[in-house]
Structure 1
Amino acid sequence: MESKKRKPSGKKKLSKSLALRRAQTLLEVSARCAAANDLVGVLHALVDITARTLGCDRGTLFLNDAETGELYSRVAQGDLIREIRILNNSGFAGHVFQTGESVITHDPYADPRFNRQVDDWTGYKTRNIICVPIRLASGEIIGVMQCLNKTHGSFSDDDLELLQDMTAQAAVALSSLHFVERTEKLRQKEMKFIGLVSEISQEFDLSRLLQRVVAETTKMLNAERATIFMYDSTTKTLFSRVSAGSEIAEIRFPSHLGIAGEVFTEGKSLNIPHAYADLRFNPSFDRQTGFFTRSILCVPILNKHGVIIGVTQVLNKQLGVFTQEDEQRLKAFTGQVAIALENSKLFDDVQRVKSYNESILQSMSNGVITLDAGSKIVTCNSAALKIWNGKATAFVGKPLAELLGENSQWLNESISSAKETGESGYFPDIQFMLGGTEKSVNVSVMPLRAADHEKELGAMLMFEDISAEKRMKSTMSRYMDPTIAAQMLEGGGSDLLGGANKEATIMFTDVRGFTTITEEYGAQGTVSFLNEYFTLMVECINRQGGMLDKFIGDAIMACFGLPAAHEDDPDRAVKAAISMIREMWDWNAVRREKGLKTVDMGIGLNTDTVVSGNIGSPRRMDYTVIGDGVNLASRLESACKAYSAHILASESTILKLRGTYRHRDIDLVVVKGKTQPVRVYEILDYHDNDTFPNMVDVMTRFGDAMQAYRAGHWQRARAGFELCLKLNPKDGLSQTYIDRCDYLETHPPVGEWNGVWVMKEK
């Protein structure tokens, strides 16, 4: 092996012809370098001149790239420029660059600095090499010039001196053009950086922005992987979003854990060249993913107020470890995109809240329509579209006034009032028309204001569709009391099964001679008759707040005090009974004019504690009342015929009356199925002077006669009842007692007489 290190020495005296050729060569170098427009032109010129002048096969000029620690050269291949790069400390070129010493070798294969793989790949055989450093006047080495395989013989010291002179002559031009190129690259990089930041700043979707920033960071730092972690103040976590196939996966962890957590907490950058040697590194992520982390660079992301909003973490620089320059570049980049990241996160938070609110609106069973300040429809949830049988396009963006029906224009005033006062309005059970569809709804009107309560945003309308409920309630009310129907609709039904003890006034009514009517009218006529009769009677009950319990053939059972009690329920029952008799008489007058049969009726009233509730099964139930008090009212109604009365009431009802009514004590009787006597009264307020003449006198005389009757003075009692009958020949009750006195006189009661009459029939 023969390899010589050469240093500049005193130059030998050259012949005139050789000196002239050398001068011409150096002038050509100067001229060609001056004429070149760029670095590639200079490189090409020098390689061409040196190869021709030294008589060698190949020549290569390498310049140093301080940023990457590499020597690079460029060669033309057709219209393309190919760049060759090697480390600036490898091979002959690296040795010359590092030591600054020129080298001539006549047996490269014997020199360990020579990389013979290139020859093996290309089939080229390198016989000898000459390589010199390229120095500036300041002594700074900016590259090397290397020539291979002298055509005739070997490289000499003269060749070395000539090559050194040529590179020295071209060094200034090379340095200048290299500087210009670097400056242009920096300018282009800055322009690209500015354009990139501007482009990134226009992205509002957080997931896409994070992926874009990660991709640019990875490319900018020549790393294998990068991640942006944003801080979520609500959950105190750092999170990032990464692509997982066609979906976006989210990673979250507490904001104080790991390398990223420390950078976020402390606010200081971390540059870790050997991850596994750092105790703060958590290798579990590598074990889970199969990734091997070598080096880590992690910097905080600060907003314009200096508040840390996240961290950027970059892994595994592809060549070497992350440098101080990498850290500065990453800080500069994240500083520029911080505003975009913060705005995007804010936009993401707003979108999340918006989606949450929209989800709430869409899941609501009530219809919701929001209006802007000009009363145009902004949103309309699916429930509202279902209520009004429309599509979103038929409502959204339309002025509300255009969609309101004539009977619904009042809503505009309600909206204006809500905006002015800031108070909500509620309008239950109204007929409302919107978009040509009319429904029964409960309407709520609410003003919408900004969080500071200063700016008016519009209004919100909430509709509860009760059309189906009203139809169902209307249908059910035909078969049961409306109050019970409402309870059934509100409470479901099965929970209403059971009973409760409550005080109520029970009413029973019955049509006299109904059998004759059915025989005369037949089935259809009887149904028509009953429907007309029940319509009149039920209206009297409803006017007094009574509850129709049931129809039993031609009979009516009703309650006063159930399901809702009043302080004057006995009075209400008496008033209803009086009204029913008068309605019956008016109806009879109409029927007489039409030549139809008239009817008569009896009413029994009793006030007592009864058991009320839904009785039956969950599939079929009946709200009703049961108990002795109910049975007594039924017995009193049956007794009306025996006493020639229309309305009979028990003593318990009379004692609880708040008003004053014309009534008379008519008997102390033990009804069928009972053992204890009940004092019975006849209500007479439905009469006038024509139907009951001399009522006051009759009531007085009747009372005196009853005292004699209960004392067992049959003759005196009989005389009193005869006087009553004389005052009112239609008073059938007086005739009944005349007959009873005659019977008792001929059939004296066994034992002591107490005035109690025992009924043998119902």
Structure 2
Amino acid sequence: MAKRTQSDAPTLRQRSAVFFALMTFLPLLLNLFILFQYDLKLSRFVVFVLVGAMVIAGLGFLFLLKTLREITVLAKHFRKLAHGDYHTMKEHNVSNDLEETAHIGNAFNSVLADLKAHSQLVEQLKKSHGQEVEFLDLVSDVTSEIDLSVLLQRVMGEATRMLNAERATLFLNDEKTDELFSRVAQGDEIGEIRLPNHLGIAGSVFTSGNTVNIAHAYADLRFNPESDTQTAYFTRSILCVPVVNRNGKTIGVTQVLNKLDGPFTEKDELRLKAFAAQVSIGLQNAKLFDDIQCMQNYNESMLESMSNGVITLDEEHTIITCNAAALRIMCVTPEDILRCPAHDFFTDSNAWILEKVRGVDEGHTQEVFMDAELEFAGERLSVNVTVLPLLSHEKKRLGSMIMLEDISNEKRMKLTMSRYMDPTISNQLLEGDKEFLIGKSVEATILFSDVRSFTLLTEAIGAQEAVALLNEYFTIMVECIQQEGGMLDKFIGDAIMAAFGTLMSHDDEEDRAVRTAIAMITHLDAWNVGRTAFGQQPLEIGIGINTDIVISGNIGSPKRMDYTLIGDGVNLAARLESACKYYSTRILISENTKRKLRGTYRLRHVDRVVVKGKTGPVGVYEVLDYHTDETFPNLMDVVGYFREGMGRYQSGDWTEAIQAFEKALIAHPGDKLSRTYIERCEHLRAHPPEEAWNGVWVMTSK
């Protein structure tokens, strides 16, 4: 084997070149590999920087080879000189070589500085890339987090950390008060902060929509030092940006305080704007979620509160939902019907419904079946059935819906109405006469009656006895109304609403209403005698009567209508009935009714009062004709004394009024109305009215 010569061994220049190549290109390739490991697309800027750095490194590498060659030549000359070979000086200009070597050294140092800057740039890119990854994670949380409070705390916490600040605050605008309030406020023991939305740094940003970056807070006149005093905090620097929704409307501001390593930079501004954009997205997503949730809850509540039954089926005719009304109508439990195939539930005499559902599925149009019959739990029901297709926005079939309206009670009600109403009225209601359907304004006299303390009585006697009691009571009362040609408008629990002069007009509607009220009290007292004899609790009622213009007509939809009366005249009659409890009376009529009475009745002026819901005063009178000498001794004397007392009362002479009312009490100690006025006059004498007394009493309750 040939012996290896010294010239064949790797030279210092060759070894240095290889080492420098490895030290230059391997870190670049390693950095490029690390960045690609994040599975993210590199931006054009990053690629440009990396390629440029590699080009610079390559040029530096070539320059370094040349430098090493020159150094090798110089070293060779110096070795010859050391052995006494001065002939080298002639062959090579050492001085020039030294100058060139110094120049090469300076260039080498410049290359090293460029390499160091490149390394720092790579480190900054890696750090920036890490922050971008963290921000992308935050964006992912914004789209998935449902709890808005948790989300906002996370966003503001990340903003504080990434901007290297001490704390951050999110202010949202309260449109009702025109205030900015702290939705998220970092800091120990910081409660809700509220400030006008046009004051301070936050207010300036909110009104202008511009970013504010303040290096020295106390040097800015917009800054309010009082906030630092209240929170025991010292603010040095502030960065505040607006929070804008998708419509371009400013809904709040985000601010960070006291950057730890100097003032906030333009880069910080861009980053905080990005955080503010995520806050806006989170708020909009949360609002959208709340709106959807509210709509869902509203729909569910609406279905559960409906009196009509609603059943939904999927494409395979499996029963998916059934509201409470449908469960009640069909007398089933959720376990009996939910997830049950429709052909297993609607069987025998009810199978026709499934046939109608199939027909609706094919035609994609709803069908209505009036007064149909269904049988559940051995009971036949009269129902109105509506079958509707459930379609997507693309008109694709999603299923079907069945609506059940139980009209069994309505039929029974019509039978009951025919018993207690004039046949003409009943026929008009049942036949739906066109003129009868049209609403019109008529002058009518409205009568309201109500049983006193019926709820307590029901609790004492039980439900079944309460129903029997009401039926017996209504039979007596409606008979009195029918005898005078009145129309029973409706039963409202234990209350009765009747009208005189709507469909069948007479010349003495007011007298008919008053006579009806007197008859109702008289028959009630006679009935109570029998109840008391059997140890049963007697009933007490109050009656209010008013004459006015009201609107009468068949009100409702073509499927369900109700003939009724509405208007202020109806409301006043109801208020007078309620006022009977306050005045301890049994029949009260308005001055409108009194003025049109044709007959002679024993009346006394009770008050001039403004009832709840009205602005003008109305005169109120008590009807006393149902009384006997036993129930109200010295009636006319009491009425005379009371009239005298009322005159004194209305003129503001409290002492004289009290004396007159006391005379009425002496004549009839059981007159509670006189006692009420004595107490009122004593109160007014002790606490005179602040304004000029006009004799009008204002009622604050119904």
For the superposition of Structure 1 and Structure 2, which TM-score range results when normalised by the shorter chain?
A: 0.3 to 0.5
Structure with the higher strand share, 1 or 2: 1
TM normalised by structure 2 equals 0.41
TM normalised by structure 1 equals 0.37
Whichever of the two has the greater Rg, that structure is 1
